[in-house]
Amino acid sequence: MNDTFLKACRGEETDYTPVWLMRQAGRYLKEYQEVRSKVDFLTLCKTPELAAKVTLQPIDILNVDAAILFSDILIPIEAMGMHLEFSDKKGPVLGDPVRNKAGVDRLVIPDTEDSMGFVLETIRILRRELSDRVPLIGFSGAPYTLATYIIEGGSSKNFMHTKKMMYQNPGLFGALLEKITAVTIEYLSAQIRAGAQAVQLFDSWAGILTPYDYENVIFPYVKTAVKALKKFDVPVIYFANDCAGILKIVKKCGADVIGVDWRVDMQKAAKKIGKKASIQGNLDPCVLFAPKEHIEERVQDILNKAEGTRGHIFNLGHGILPETPVENAIAMVEIVHRLSRKK
Amino acid sequence: MNDTFLKACRGEETDYTPVWLMRQAGRYLKEYQEVRSKVDFLTLCKTPELAAKVTLQPIDILNVDAAILFSDILIPIEAMGMHLEFSDKKGPVLGDPVRNKAGVDRLVIPDTEDSMGFVLETIRILRRELSDRVPLIGFSGAPYTLATYIIEGGSSKNFMHTKKMMYQNPGLFGALLEKITAVTIEYLSAQIRAGAQAVQLFDSWAGILTPYDYENVIFPYVKTAVKALKKFDVPVIYFANDCAGILKIVKKCGADVIGVDWRVDMQKAAKKIGKKASIQGNLDPCVLFAPKEHIEERVQDILNKAEGTRGHIFNLGHGILPETPVENAIAMVEIVHRLSRKK
Q: Are B201 and B222 in contact, with CB atoms under 8 Å apart?
A: yes
Over residues A108-162, the pLDDT tens digits come to 999 999 999 999 999 999 999 999 899 999 999 999 999 999 999 998 999 999 9
pLDDT at A58 over 60: yes
CA angle B189, B175, B179 (to 5 degrees): 20
Whether a cis peptide bond, with omega within 30° of 0, leads into B169 is: no
Q: Is B40 labeled as catalytic in the residue annotation?
A: no
Q: Is B106 labeled as catalytic in the residue annotation?
A: no
Q: A with B: how many residue pairs have Cβ under 8 Å apart?
A: 103
Q: Give me the catalytic one of B3, B16, B32, B72.
A: B72
Cα separation of A324 and B304, whole Å?
Answer: 46
What's this model's pTM, rounded to 2 decimal places? 0.96
What residues does A238 pair with on adjacent strands?
A: A201, A258
Q: Look at A289 and B168 and tell me if their CB atoms are within 8 Å.
A: yes
Q: Tell me the CATH number at A249.
A: 3.20.20.210
Return the residue in A165, A168, A208, A210 with the most chain B beta carbons within 10 A, the one to mutate for interface testing: A210
Domain with B327, as residue range(s), is 4-342
Q: Are B320 and B61 in contact, with CB atoms under 8 Å apart?
A: no
Query: Out of B168, B210, B284, whose CB is closest to A210?
Result: B284
pLDDT at A270 over 70: yes
Cα separation of B65 and B134, whole Å?
Answer: 6
Query: Out of A212, A244, A245, whose CB is closest to B301?
Result: A212
Over residues B197-232, the pLDDT tens digits come to 999 999 999 999 999 999 999 999 999 999 999 999
Radius of gyration from C-alpha coordinates of chain B: 19
pLDDT at residue number B148? 98
Cα separation of B32 and B29, whole Å?
Answer: 5
Over residues A209-231, the pLDDT tens digits come to 999 999 999 999 999 999 999 99
When divided into structural domains, chain B yields a total of: 1
Contact with chain B for residue A281, Cβ under 8 A: no
Length reported for chain A: 343
Q: Look at A301 and B212 and tell me if their CB atoms are within 8 Å.
A: yes
Over residues B51-74, the pLDDT tens digits come to 999 999 999 999 999 999 999 999
Contact with chain A for residue B331, Cβ under 8 A: no
Nearest Cα residue in chain B from A212: B265
Contact with chain B for residue A182, Cβ under 8 A: no
Task: Give the rounded percent of residues in chain A with a pLDDT score beyond 70.
Answer: 99
Residue by residue, DSSP assigns B74-117 as THHHHHTT--EEEETTTEEEESS---SHHHHHH-----HHHHHH
Cα separation of B131 and A293, whole Å?
Answer: 59
pLDDT band at B177 (very low <50, low <70, confident <90, very high): very high
Q: Are B164 and B87 in contact, with CB atoms under 8 Å apart?
A: no
Q: Look at A212 and B245 and tell me if their CB atoms are within 8 Å.
A: no
8-state DSSP, B321: P
Residue by residue, DSSP assigns A103-170 as HHHH-----HHHHHHHHHHHHHHHHHHHTTSS-EEEEEE-HHHHHHHHHHSB--SS-HHHHHHHHH-H
Q: Are B188 and B229 in contact, with CB atoms under 8 Å apart?
A: yes
What's the gap in Å between the CA of B284 and the closest CA on chain A? 7
